[in-house]
Amino acid sequence: MTGLRVAVMGAAGRMGAETCLAIDAAPDLELAATIGSDGSPTDAKAAGAEVVVDFTRPDVVLDNIRQVLSLGMHSVVGTSGFDDERLAQVRDLQGKAPQLGVVIAPNFALGAALLMRFSREAAAHFESVEIVELHHPDKVDAPSGTAVHTAEEIAKARDGRASPDATVREQPGARGASVAGVAVHSVRLRGLVAHEEVLFGSPGEILTIRHDSLDRSAFMPGVLLAIREVVTRPGLTVGIDELLQNQNH
């Protein structure tokens, strides 16, 4: 039996290399092509890929998605940098190929998806909320895609309600970045991998929801789930929460 044929863009990178190993080890998937910065989605098509996984860079990923869809392949994207505006651009691209699926997940770790789900649930019940994300210092973007997505989801759940803050004088950056009105603080420290804390506060109580990715293998069950699911769900799916909920049924 031949498996679902998958190409990996950014295959020589940290996440891409781990993804290639995971696909190789999955009996129902076939690694059709490994593509680096000198290649393009055309190579994936030529190798007969049905799904293209993207772990490249925020500045090239939109163009990759455009090419992948125009060549008739499904797209699974882990590359960060997707705010609402960029997601709208992907929706436009996908609209031109309505039979194809795109899954974009700011974080493929199961625990991170649950952190976002629990944060959405807690968001309406507390007066204050702030996010601290902590990563290795080789990460090129700040805040992390996961933190941006978490902040946007929290803001929606709070209907835009701001946290109280009496600050009138501030060293630039001291209060973090404001993402959808939620303060997000980014730490870059040698020794860290990928970590996120969401702090909720009300008079007399603090709730902290924390997730630690200790190894890139944490992302692989989510990446494989997205590869298997994307071929059956046309349209744009953001995050793996919906895919996990499906699995429970």
Catalytic residues: 135, 139
Stretch 163-202: interaction string toward ligand NAD, x if CB under 6 A = ----------------------------------------
Q: According to the binding rule CB under 6 A, does residue 60 interact with ligand NAD? A: yes
Cβ neighbours of 23 (radius 10 Å): 26
Distance CA 150, CA 110 (A): 14
DSSP string of 173-184, one letter each residue: TTT-EEETTEEE
Distance CA 126, CA 118 (A): 13
Shortest separation between residue 136's beta carbon and ligand NAD, angstroms: 9
Chain positions 200 to 229 lying near ligand NAD, rule: CB under 6 A, are 219
DSSP string of 29-65, one letter each residue: EEEEEEE-TT--HHHHHHTT-SEEEE-S-HHHHHHHH
Task: List the Cα angle 237/241/245 in 5-degree steps.
Answer: 110
User: Binding segment for ligand NAD among 74-82, 86-94, 123-131, 155-163 (CB under 6 A)?
Assistant: 74-82
Chain positions 8 to 47 lying near ligand NAD, rule: CB under 6 A, are 9-10, 12-16, 35-37, 39
Q: How many residues bind ligand NAD (CB under 6 A)?
A: 24
Residue 210 DSSP symbol: E
Q: Are 65 and 54 in contact (CB under 8 A)?
A: yes
Binding test (CB under 6 A) with ligand NAD, winner from 75, 94, 107, 237: 107
State which residue has the least CB distance to ligand NAD.
13
Shortest separation between residue 113's beta carbon and ligand NAD, angstroms: 10
* Interface positions with ligand NAD (CB under 6 A): 9-10, 12-16, 35-37, 39, 55-58, 60, 78-80, 105-108, 219
